[in-house]
Chain A
Amino acid sequence: MFGYLVRRIATSLAILFAVSFAVYAIFALLPFDPAALTCGKNCNNPAIIEANRIRLGYDIPFWQQYIVFLGGLFAGRNFGEGAAAIHCPAPSLGYSFNQHECVTTLIGRALPVTASLAIGAMILWLIVGITLGVVAARFRGRSADTASTIFVLIGTSLPTFLTGLLLLVFVVIKWKIIPFPSGNYTPLLENPFEWAQILFLPWVTLAFASAALYTRFVRNAVIETLSEDFIRTARAKGLSEKVILRKHTLRAALAPIATMAGLDFAGLLGGAILTEKVFNLPGLGRLSLSAVIEYDLPIIVGTTLLSAAIVITMNLIVDVLYALIDPRVRVAS
């Protein structure tokens, strides 16, 4: 297991390195002049553009830029010289001239929002999806199963933004149960109640479709596992249905669900653009979206790299988790 872990971490690092180069290359080779973009939409002052080009390091060849970028990642980086120099400490992902802030500072502010959103939503959809899925499988063909099928149909066919808008219109505007989203975010440690109040509807919105999807997956996985030979063996041993379901069925049925949840979670951490937009949350999704609209290259490179890093790390975690659940994987690796 230890050797497996070391090997997996080494490969993950190598992949991350390759991805960082690819991402950097893609954006560096786009037909935009990043220096021109730094001075605003209606800027025609070549002097400012050239000065910014040098400050941001866009004047040197592409591969050198990448090395400087990597250096900044490990040692921090200065933009400009002398008193006007701007310092972005390690790990530096660059500096945004539009926002006048280091990219890592911007991400550092947006990530907790998105993380709170993603973690809360995942907990919600896992609880709902697993519970409904197991109940539907256990009472297959009965009314509980039918009810869950209806939920699955609604959940998977309603688009996220519509769910969000419906919740906003009814819960916030019509019934006034929750105040209108202000666009601000209160950290959990500052005021847990406000934190939950701000995030509650976004959680429900994000979790709704996934909960439906997971209900279907869990139901099918449980039904399939219940027809396995080893379940018949468990029955032949005289075990109770409760033990057979909880111990023998769920562990086997939920192993692939754990993988799925890990990867879905990683995808969400990159930013839940629609939900963040609908509920006006200052998360990573909104940061990336505005960066794309304003051609704010350093932010785009930074958030893209972060998403890649999250997905790769999550893959690693999920595989290790799977090896812990399924002993056959442990030995094969």
Chain B
Amino acid sequence: MSLLEVADLSVQFRTPDGIVKAVDGVSFKVDRGETLAIVGESGSGKTVTNLAIMGLLPNKIANISGSAKLDTGGGSVDLLKIPSSDLRKIRGRDVAMIFQDPMSALHPYYTIGHQIIEAHQVHNQCSEEDSAKRAIELLELVGISDASKRLNAFPHQFSGGMRQRVMIAMALVNNPKVLIADEPTTALDVTVQAQIMKLLADLQKELGMAMILITHDLGVVAGSADRINVMYAGKIVESADVFELFANPQMPYTHGLLASIPRVDRPQLQRLETIPGQPPSLISLPAGCAFAPRCSRKSEVSGSACDLTMPALVEVSTGHSSRCHLVGSVIK
């Protein structure tokens, strides 16, 4: 089996306004050493998908179904089914996660050394000194100079990019099998963004771990992802390996995302396209294709299929599937 196999994952939130269908029937696999990118607009369910896998959703209001099977080496476990005490042993050891905003993700009252050592100590029976050595090793690995001294620094003494490096060091301290990076560069300057992306790609090769990279910017993942899942309104609408997706996008939404990436091979003055309109409310989703209200190509589909029936996710070619009534008639 693959390292991580997510099948038919759905997440619904009970809110005062109604039931929010944040994630609906999402399935994907991640292999060892592979980088899977999850791309989509804000609110498409990227974060919720991964928080569900990590068991980090508030269970009082979140209704989670489906499965997320992780191969721990000693057999496969379903992260959505095991008791929370078992899941806690996997969190931070087998599956680690870094978050969008490094400014608030670190505890302001504890030194970064303390926080990294703590992450190591939960999962290892070793002395604090050994954990400290490991922390220094990791800080050096993520490119923080003078690591043994910086151990005693507080988060507020670091810049945003440096804090994200600290977060990465903390996530990698137990050599996880899977690293989930939720928009790790969104809150950072453009130049720092590139550095962090390169660092993540390098580390992933060096350590051979699998990575799930969440972003709303296809341009960010072009260089580092192996596969891409495009999400829209809680569903996967297109999935392909990176070259195939860029060369041969099937779904108009993917098209739109691609058209909004600045590219050097296009004339400078040509304006970037953005997709007009807003994603639908997740409380009252349309009966048909969720993208229909914004789709410029639905007139090409006969009848009112786009508004009436939800297109299925169908395989276009090996390893490439798409959720659109147009599939088959190649979009160019």
Residues on A facing B (Cβ under 8 Å): 141, 228-230, 232-240, 248, 251-252, 325-328, 331
Contacts and interface: CB of A to CB of B under 8 A. Distances in A.
Contact of A237 (B104, B119, B156, B157): B119
Nearest to B157: A331
B290 to A, nearest CB: 28
B109 A326 contact: yes
B190 interface: no
Interface stretch (B62-70, B89-97, B196-204): B89-97
A239 B122 contact: yes
Given A326-B109, A331-B156, A238 B91 contact: yes
A292 B78 CA distance: 74
Given A236-B96, A236-B97, A327-B154, 5 more contacts: A233-B107, A239-B92, A251-B109, A252-B109, A331-B154
B232 interface: no
B170 interface: yes
A327 B123 CA distance: 27
A233 B155 CA distance: 14
30 contacts: A229-B104, A229-B105, A230-B104, A230-B105, A230-B107, A230-B108, A232-B56, A232-B105, A233-B99, A233-B107, A233-B167, A233-B170, A236-B54, A236-B56, A236-B92, A237-B91, A237-B92, A237-B118, A237-B119, A238-B90, A238-B91, A238-B92, A238-B119, A239-B92, A239-B122, A248-B107, A326-B109, A327-B108, A327-B156, A331-B157
A6 to B, nearest CB: 23
B106 interface: yes
Contacts of B171: 236
Nearest to B123: A238
Interface in B99-121: 99, 101, 104-109, 118-119
A230 B106 contact: yes
Contact of B108 (A237, A238, A240, A326): A326
Interface of B: 54, 56, 60, 88-93, 96-97, 99, 101, 104-109, 118-119, 122-123, 154, 156-157, 167, 170-171
B97 A238 contact: no
Contacts of B104: 228-230
Contacts of A239: 88, 92, 118, 122
With a 10 A CB-CB cut-off, give which of A232, A236, A238, A248 has the most chain B CB atoms.
Answer: A236
A118 to B, nearest CB: 29
Contacts of B154: 327-328, 331
Contact of A252 (B90, B108, B122, B167): B108
Contacts of A237: 91-92, 118-119, 122, 170
A236 B157 CA distance: 23
A29 B122 CA distance: 67
Contacts of A141: 60
Given A228-B104, A331-B156, A240 B54 contact: no
B307 to A, nearest CB: 39
A-B interface, 3 closest residue pairs, ranked by CB to CB distance from nearest = A238-B92, A229-B104, A238-B91
Q: Which applies to chain A's interface (DSSP): helix, strand, loop or mixed?
A: helix
With a 10 A CB-CB cut-off, give which of A238, A327, A331 has the most chain B CB atoms.
Answer: A238
Contacts of A331: 154, 156-157
A333 to B, nearest CB: 13
Nearest to A230: B107
Nearest to A328: B156
Contact of A238 (B60, B88, B106, B107): B88
A232 B96 CA distance: 12
Nearest to A232: B56
Contacts of B167: 233
B91 A235 contact: yes
A176 to B, nearest CB: 49
Contacts of A326: 108-109
Contacts of B156: 327-328, 331
Contacts of A328: 108, 154, 156
A237 B118 CA distance: 9
Nearest to A325: B109
A327 B111 CA distance: 9
Contact of A233 (B88, B105, B122): B105
A240 B107 contact: no
Nearest to A249: B107
Contacts of A248: 107
A15 to B, nearest CB: 29
Contacts of A325: 109
B201 to A, nearest CB: 22
A217 to B, nearest CB: 19
